[in-house]
């Protein structure tokens, strides 16, 4: 007894936070940096967004505050990595731990109270599901059809020659990182507002941020690719409760998205080396 | 005052301000937080308890220090600690092995270490021969191990209706002295390895100038593989220290225990030095004890993680800004 | 960072290290002195009494202070299990404020309970520790042996497990009677003739509740003459969540039941409001799905937040207050002894006699366990009357859900059938304490969704 339609729509709802966070991280990586702190920024976004919803009872306010809190946390990354030249991988990792710790301090202020639930209101879809798709189209347009996009990609491909040609390396990078933080924060708020009636609870992100980073690679740093990879992982989550009914232990199913990302990572690396289809080159230097 | 000095001073000050702000934000307030920290440092028994928690943290930091020196930025210690703990649990509680207490600890350390090393080896081989990024691959492995652990706990290893494994028998439980000796031993072996052996020399060379290392015909791939093995070894042993001292049994987990992640913070805090990890790791585990105590004042436990990460970030920013040119 | 170590000279490092050590020392010393000063000002007079709770009478009652520590497995913000215990704590705190000091620890993982509680007992004097989760059993047993002067109270554990520990009392608020009544409400309102249950674990406690709910829903459908007089009612039990507090997994399980199995009444054992919220969210999509309160009165809670739940049928609520009141009063009077409390309907109420249906308090607070408000808009009045009648009967134990003949099949820890249905309770026989406490079979009409 499988209701395919509901799995497909649930898949999109599960994919939305992944797609949002992954699109943000894609921007960051396109600009030539890697921010591993997505999980932390999502955690803070979930807590702060829920708190704002509880305090003000406004859905828009909840998402705005969630996004801003993510952006605020990414500012730490900006200061440390762009400003002080600290290592980006280490800083990103620290951001994760920081975000998780901070989210608890903010979250306990909500006391688990339901805030502002987000319901499907555009047919079977909610606003953010639609927004994440529109955003992907918009980012595609931005990256491939505008001068800013060309500039951004150039920075990511070759920082030195971009500097020589007088491109706005620092400005664009900082903006991308902050936008990435904002989107991760919004993705976090989506977790509490859409999945849990606006309620925050400890450990709400549960590794979603890391999967989002994996989705960037799975989607090959392309907005539409991320849309597909995000939806694919979302479907996996939607199907998870059904797996025990056909005899697959749910605990092992938990490992599936991570396993797939690992395999994809290997394949992507292989493709890059053999075929020379190139992801952003500066990122590749860092994460290779 | 030049720019580097100004920046480093600024990062120190903002870090300390950050810590004070966090303490102020907790439900215990500034006063409650600091008095609890003071309590930990004024009680011998609490300082001794800290030693227990420091086992897995220091052990994973020791191996990570070696790996980071070689430029192998793995974060797989978390999964390795967990897998090591599972191995030690199997050995002590499920294997049906009956040996003396003094034999069990070395044996458990060996097996857990091997389990951790094998896990580390996956990322190592992927990196060395296929050029796959080790940070991401090791991270994915962490979550795969977590799922595997939950599968064992809920399935084959479950005792009774509740998702709970058997406990490490009292006979095989280890105390703070065992933990202390193990981590001291590991730290000095690794320090020696790094300073007095050819491998250590090659590791340093690889980390500092990867291109030059390649030019001078240092076998980069095999060194990466060795490093990944050595790194996983200590983290796996840390898992044995964890399950045999304070943890004893396992229940289903939402998140992994986090000692391996703390090891990462500790390794950076210790300036990626094995012996330095002893001090930094112990300091962090006193914070864990303080965190447990602060819980009775309504402070969530993860605040400890926040404090630790702010300390490390401050430290890293300080170090980085000292390097910026005038 | 690759060049970090060599760029930092040793002198720099030493300088920084010294500075931070000094800073830390000053901060800690200052903070400690400060905290000390404050604690002497505000805290209660610390009688350095070696009063063991069970024996001594050296301190007079007037001076005696009882310090009690609650250990919670979830956050008090769960509005379920942990919240209910915390309400109980507040109840005794208000009542006995003169001589009672209460503290609590929330979100204590079951496998870390031993270390966490031990750290507390090492640093602070406590007379009583209330461990409120099944999984704290090992920890409590170990600690009870190490701290004989402290009285431990374990919630939901079988007393046999602690039979050698003189300072451990077990207590529990039992719900199977209420689940049976929930089942009647569920069976009476279901339109799809499919009901579901999401269990946290398949412990005997939860299995009891599942069976009672299943038998109740068949009873309810039969009462209303629907679903082939209850014959065609389908009852689905999902895979256990393997966590008491797992809002996300609970939500997914509930969604699966509704989306793929057409279930419209969901009962559950999970410590949050997640499933009730999921049921409510279906109403916004135009689908009628019902669920229940669990441990706390969630209907009232959402009402306070300005949300009138349409999905709320009724539910099981525990008031731990009277139980804690009784236990702590005994402790204060130096009259604590090892006991086992298993509170059911009618326990901890002033008068136990059954009342006529018109005066029944079903759906209102009374005693230690009671029924959450009945949704009279949806539940047919015939069913409401029956619920009230059985509620009153059960208060005097005149009616018992587990009365034979009952057919069932033995299950494993995930709910997979291990045998074909057998007669588990012979006709006319009522299950006793041991059979209920160690129950390991599902009622025959239940379908497990684990393969």
The residue of chain C with its CA nearest to that of A6 is: C259
* Integer CA distances (angstroms), A126 to A3, C196, C260, C278, C398, in order: 20, 27, 21, 16, 51
Give residue B14's Cα distance to chain centre: 26
Q: Which of B292, B241, B284 is closest to B52 using CA atoms?
A: B241
What does the alpha-carbon distance between residue C74 and residue C272 come to, in Å, rounded to a whole number?
Answer: 9
Q: Residues of C with CB below 8 A from B68's CB?
A: 1
8 Å CB contact of A114 and C307: yes
* Count of helix runs (H) and strand runs (E) in chain C: 13, 16
Pairing mode of beta strands C406-410, C441-443? antiparallel
Q: Which of A36, A33, A22 is closest to A95 using CA atoms?
A: A36
| Of residues C19 and C194, more confidently modeled | C194
Highest mean pLDDT among A114-123, B40-49, C325-334 belongs to C325-334
**Residue B1 — very low, low, confident or very high, per pLDDT cuts 50/70/90?**
low
- Residues written for chain C: 451
A245–C contact, CB cutoff 8 A: yes
Highest mean pLDDT among A209-223, B160-174, C398-412 belongs to C398-412
**Residue B284 — very low, low, confident or very high, per pLDDT cuts 50/70/90?**
very high
Partner residue opposite C13 with nearest CB, options B31, B38, B271: B271
Instruction: Find out whether A35 and A184 touch, Cβ atoms under 8 Å.
Output: no
C110–B contact, CB cutoff 8 A: yes
Domains of chain A and CATH, by start:
4-287 (1.10.3470)
Structural domain total, chain B: 1
Q: Which residues pair with C101 in a beta bridge?
A: C67
Q: Supply the mean pLDDT for chain A.
A: 88
8 Å CB contact of B137 and A213: no
Q: Best interface-test mutation with C: which of B8, B24, B35, B308 has the largest number of C CBs within 10 A?
A: B35
Is residue C290 pLDDT above 90, yes or no?
yes
C264–A contact, CB cutoff 8 A: no
Q: Which of B155, B164, B179 is closest to B242 using CA atoms?
A: B179
ipTM comes to 0.86
C271–A contact, CB cutoff 8 A: no
Which C-chain residues 186-225 have CB contacts (< 8 A) with chain B?
201-204, 206-207
B148: closest CA of chain A, how far (Å): 6
The residue of chain C with its CA nearest to that of B8 is: C16
The subunits that touch chain B, with at least 3 C-beta pairs less than 8 Å apart, are A, C
Partner residue opposite C4 with nearest CB, options B43, B293, B319: B319
Which B-chain residues 126-165 have CB contacts (< 8 A) with chain C?
150, 154, 158, 160-164
The residue of chain B with its CA nearest to that of A95 is: B309
What does the alpha-carbon distance between residue A66 and residue A69 come to, in Å, rounded to a whole number?
Answer: 5
A183: closest CA of chain C, how far (Å): 22
Is residue C226 pLDDT above 50, yes or no?
yes
The pLDDT value given to residue A288: 46
Is residue C47 pLDDT above 50, yes or no?
no
8 Å CB contact of C2 and B207: yes
Highest mean pLDDT among A178-187, A231-240, B28-37, C435-444 belongs to A178-187
**DSSP assignment letter at A280:** P
Instruction: Find out whether C81 and C271 touch, Cβ atoms under 8 Å.
Output: yes
8 Å CB contact of B26 and A203: no
Which two tokens mark A76? 């730490």
8 Å CB contact of B34 and C108: no
What digits encode the pLDDT tens for the residues A97-128?
999 999 989 988 887 777 788 877 777 788 99
Find the mean pLDDT for residues C118-133. Answer: 91
Which A-chain residues 134-193 have CB contacts (< 8 A) with chain B?
none
What digits encode the pLDDT tens for the residues B188-219?
999 999 999 989 988 888 888 777 777 777 78
DSSP-assigned letters across all residues of C343-377? E-TTTT-S--S---GGG--TTS--SSEEEPPP-TT
Instruction: Find out whether B65 and B273 touch, Cβ atoms under 8 Å.
Output: yes
Q: Which of A87-91, B302-306, C111-115 has the lowest mean pLDDT?
A: C111-115
Is residue A287 pLDDT above 70, yes or no?
no
pTM here?
0.86
Q: Which of A8-22, B147-161, B200-214, C202-216 has the lowest mean pLDDT?
A: B200-214
C119–B contact, CB cutoff 8 A: yes
B151: closest CA of chain A, how far (Å): 5
Q: Which of A259-273, B61-75, C50-64, C419-433 has the lowest mean pLDDT?
A: C50-64
* Count of helix runs (H) and strand runs (E) in chain A: 12, 0
Rg for chain B, CA atoms, rounded: 20
**Residue C23 — very low, low, confident or very high, per pLDDT cuts 50/70/90?**
low
The residue of chain A with its CA nearest to that of B303 is: A101
C307–A contact, CB cutoff 8 A: yes
**Residue C58 — very low, low, confident or very high, per pLDDT cuts 50/70/90?**
very low
The residue of chain B with its CA nearest to that of A270 is: B130
Domains of chain C and CATH, by start:
50-173+320-365 (3.40.50.2300), 176-317+368-448 (3.40.50.2300)
A168: closest CA of chain B, how far (Å): 21
Highest mean pLDDT among A82-91, B172-181, C75-84 belongs to B172-181
Of chain B, the percentage scoring pLDDT greater than 90 comes to: 48
C259–A contact, CB cutoff 8 A: yes
DSSP-assigned letters across all residues of A231-265? HHHHHHHHHGGGGGGGT--HHHHHHHHHHHHHHHH
| Of residues B316 and C29, more confidently modeled | B316
8 Å CB contact of A112 and C77: yes
Work out the end-to-end distance of chain B between its first and last CA atoms, rounded to an integer number of angstroms.
Answer: 10
The pLDDT value given to residue B326: 43
| Of residues A162 and C397, more confidently modeled | C397
- Residues written for chain A: 288
C98–A contact, CB cutoff 8 A: no
Judge whether B18 lies within some domain: no
The pLDDT value given to residue C113: 86
Q: Which of B231-235, C18-22, C62-66, C137-141 has the lowest mean pLDDT?
A: C18-22
The pLDDT value given to residue A281: 64
Find the mean pLDDT for residues C277-289. Answer: 89
Is residue C55 pLDDT above 90, yes or no?
no
A111–C contact, CB cutoff 8 A: yes
- Residue A158 burial (CB < 10 Å; 0-12/13-18/19+)? middle
Instruction: Find out whether B7 and B309 touch, Cβ atoms under 8 Å.
Output: no
Half-sphere exposure of B309 (CA within 13 A, CB side): 26
A204–C contact, CB cutoff 8 A: yes
Find the mean pLDDT for residues A249-260. Answer: 82
The pLDDT value given to residue C44: 37
**Residue A277 — very low, low, confident or very high, per pLDDT cuts 50/70/90?**
low
Q: Which of B114-123, B256-265, C26-35 has the lowest mean pLDDT?
A: C26-35
What does the alpha-carbon distance between residue A145 and residue B247 come to, in Å, rounded to a whole number?
Answer: 56
Judge whether B281 lies within some domain: no
Partner residue opposite A3 with nearest CB, options C260, C274, C284: C260
8 Å CB contact of C119 and B318: no
Partner residue opposite A269 with nearest CB, options B131, B302, B303: B131
What does the alpha-carbon distance between residue A102 and residue C124 come to, in Å, rounded to a whole number?
Answer: 28
8 Å CB contact of A251 and B324: no
Q: Which of C227, C291, C233, C232 is closest to C265 using CA atoms?
A: C291
Give residue C290's Cα distance to chain centre: 21
Q: Supply the mean pLDDT for chain B.
A: 89
Q: Is B198 helix (H, G, I), strand (E, B) or coil?
A: helix
Is the sign of the CA dihedral A37, A42, A45, A47 positive or negative? negative
Q: Which of B146, C381, C97 is closest to A210 using CA atoms?
A: B146
The domain of B172 spans: 61-270
Q: Residues of B with CB below 8 A from C2's CB?
A: 71, 207-208
The pLDDT value given to residue C40: 36
| Of residues A282 and A179, more confidently modeled | A179
What digits encode the pLDDT tens for the residues C86-101?
999 999 999 999 999 9
The pLDDT value given to residue C26: 53
8 Å CB contact of B316 and A97: no
The pLDDT value given to residue C108: 83
What digits encode the pLDDT tens for the residues C231-264?
999 999 999 888 888 888 899 899 999 999 999 9
Instruction: Find out whether C368 and C348 touch, Cβ atoms under 8 Å.
Output: yes
* Count of helix runs (H) and strand runs (E) in chain B: 13, 0
The pLDDT value given to residue C22: 55
- Residue A54 burial (CB < 10 Å; 0-12/13-18/19+)? buried
Q: Residues of A with CB below 8 A from B155's CB?
A: 249, 251
């Amino acid at each position: 007894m499988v209701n395919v339609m509901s799995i497909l729509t649930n898949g999109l709802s599960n994919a939305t936070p992944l797609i949002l966070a992954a699109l943000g991280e894609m921007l960051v990586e396109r600009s030539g940096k890697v921010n591993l702190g997505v999980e932390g920024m999502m955690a803070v976004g979930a807590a702060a967004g829920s708190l704002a919803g509880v305090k003000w009872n406004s859905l828009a306010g909840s998402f705005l505050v969630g996004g801003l809190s993510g952006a605020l946390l990414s500012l730490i990354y900006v200061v440390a990595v762009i400003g002080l030249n600290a290592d980006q991988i280490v800083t990103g990792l620290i951001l994760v731990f920081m975000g998780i710790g901070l989210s608890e301090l903010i979250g306990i202020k909500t006391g688990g109270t339901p805030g502002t639930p987000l319901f499907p209101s555009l047919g079977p879809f909610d606003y953010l599901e639609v927004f994440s798709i529109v955003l992907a189209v918009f980012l595609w347009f931005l990256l491939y059809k505008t001068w800013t996009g060309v500039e951004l990609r150039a920075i990511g491909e070759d920082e030195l020659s971009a500097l020589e040609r007088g491109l706005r390396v620092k400005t664009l990078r900082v903006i991308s990182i902050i936008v990435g933080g904002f989107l991760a924060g919004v993705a976090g708020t989506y977790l509490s507002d859409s999945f849990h009636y606006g309620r925050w609870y400890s450990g709400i992100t549960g590794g979603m941020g890391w999967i989002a980073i994996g989705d960037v690679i799975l989607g090959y740093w392309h907005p539409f690719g991320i849309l597909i990879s995000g939806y694919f992982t979302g479907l996996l989550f939607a199907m998870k409760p059904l797996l025990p009914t056909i005899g697959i232990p749910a605990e092992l199913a938990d490992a599936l998205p991570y396993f797939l990302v690992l395999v994809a990572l290997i394949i992507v690396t292989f493709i890059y080396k053999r075929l020379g289809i190139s992801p952003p080159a500066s990122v590749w230097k860092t994460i290779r | 005052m030049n720019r580097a000095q100004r920046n480093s001073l600024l990062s120190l000050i903002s870090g300390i301000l950050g810590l004070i702000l966090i303490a102020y934000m907790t439900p215990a307030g500034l006063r409650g937080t600091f008095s609890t920290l003071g309590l930990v440092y004024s009680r011998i028994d609490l300082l001794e308890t800290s030693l227990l928690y420091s086992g897995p943290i220091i052990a994973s930091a020791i191996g990570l220090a070696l790996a980071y020196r070689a430029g192998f930025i793995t974060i797989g210690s978390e999964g390795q600690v967990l897998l090591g703990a599972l191995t030690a649990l199997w050995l002590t509680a499920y294997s049906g092995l009956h040996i003396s207490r003094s034999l069990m600890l070395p044996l458990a350390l060996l097996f857990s270490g091997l389990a951790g090393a094998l896990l580390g080896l996956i990322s190592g081989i992927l990196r060395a021969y296929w050029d796959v990024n080790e940070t991401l691959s090791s991270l994915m492995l962490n979550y795969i191990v977590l799922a595997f652990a939950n599968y064992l706990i809920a399935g084959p290893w479950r005792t009774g209706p509740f998702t709970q494994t058997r406990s490490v028998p009292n006979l095989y439980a280890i105390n703070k002295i065992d933990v202390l000796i193990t981590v001291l031993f590991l730290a000095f072996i690794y320090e020696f390895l790094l300073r007095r052996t050819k491998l250590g020399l090659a590791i340093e060379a690889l980390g500092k100038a990867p291109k030059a290392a390649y030019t001078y015909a240092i076998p980069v791939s095999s060194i990466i593989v060795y490093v990944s093995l050595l790194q996983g070894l200590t983290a796996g042993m840390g898992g044995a220290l964890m399950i045999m001292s304070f943890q004893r049994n396992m229940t289903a987990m939402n998140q992994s225990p986090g000692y391996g992640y703390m090891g990462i913070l500790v390794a950076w805090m210790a300036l990626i030095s094995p012996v330095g990890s002893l001090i930094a790791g112990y300091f962090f585990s006193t914070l864990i004890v303080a965190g447990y105590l602060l819980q009775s004042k309504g402070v969530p436990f993860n605040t400890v993680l926040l404090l630790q990460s702010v300390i490390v970030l401050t430290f890293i920013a300080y170090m980085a800004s000292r390097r910026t040119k005038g | 960072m690759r060049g970090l170590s060599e760029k930092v000279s040793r002198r720099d490092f030493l300088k920084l290290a010294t500075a931070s050590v000094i800073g830390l020392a000053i901060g800690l010393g200052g903070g400690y002195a400060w905290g000390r000063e404050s604690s002497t000002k505000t805290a209660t007079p610390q009688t350095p009494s070696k009063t063991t709770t069970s024996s001594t009478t050296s301190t007079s009652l007037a001076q005696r202070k009882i310090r009690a520590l609650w250990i919670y497995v979830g956050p008090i913000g769960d509005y379920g299990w942990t919240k209910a215990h915390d309400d109980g704590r507040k109840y005794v705190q208000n009542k006995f404020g003169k001589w009672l000091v209460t503290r609590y620890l929330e979100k204590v993982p079951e496998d870390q309970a031993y270390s966490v509680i031990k750290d507390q007992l090492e640093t602070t004097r406590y007379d009583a520790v209330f461990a409120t989760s099944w999984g704290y059993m090992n920890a409590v047993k170990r600690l009870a042996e190490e701290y004989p002067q402290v009285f431990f109270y374990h919630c939901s554990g079988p007393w046999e497990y602690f039979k050698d520990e003189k300072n451990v009392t077990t207590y529990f608020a039992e719900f199977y009677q209420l689940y049976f009544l929930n089942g009647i409400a569920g069976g009476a309102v279901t339109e799809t003739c499919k009901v579901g249950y999401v269990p946290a674990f398949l412990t005997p406690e939860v299995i009891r509740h599942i069976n009672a709910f299943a038998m109740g829903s068949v009873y309810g459908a039969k009462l209303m003459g629907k679903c082939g007089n209850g014959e065609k009612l389908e009852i689905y039990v999902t895979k256990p969540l393997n966590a008491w507090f797992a809002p996300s997994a609970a939500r997914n399980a509930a969604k699966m039941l509704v989306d793929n199995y057409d279930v419209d009444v969901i009962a559950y054992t999970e410590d949050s409001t997640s499933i009730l919220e999921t049921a409510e969210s279906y109403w916004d999509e135009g689908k009628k799905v019902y669920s229940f309160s669990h441990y706390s009165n969630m209907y009232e809670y959402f009402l306070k937040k300005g949300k009138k739940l349409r999905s709320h049928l009724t539910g099981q609520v525990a008031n731990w207050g009277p139980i804690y009141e009784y236990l702590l009063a005994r402790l204060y009077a130096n009259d604590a002894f090892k006991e086992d409390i298993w509170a059911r309907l009618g326990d901890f109420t002033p008068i136990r006699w059954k009342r006529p249906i018109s005066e029944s308090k079903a759906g209102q607070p009374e005693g230690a366990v009671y029924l959450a408000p009945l949704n009279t808009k949806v539940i047919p009045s015939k069913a409401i009357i029956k619920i009230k009648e059985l509620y009153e009967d059960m208060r005097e134990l005149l009616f018992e859900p587990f009365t034979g003949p009952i057919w069932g099949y033995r299950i494993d820890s995930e709910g997979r059938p291990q045998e074909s249905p057998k007669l588990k309770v012979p006709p006319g026989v009522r299950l006793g304490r041991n059979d209920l406490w160690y129950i390991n079979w599902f009622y025959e009409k239940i379908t497990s969704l684990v393969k």
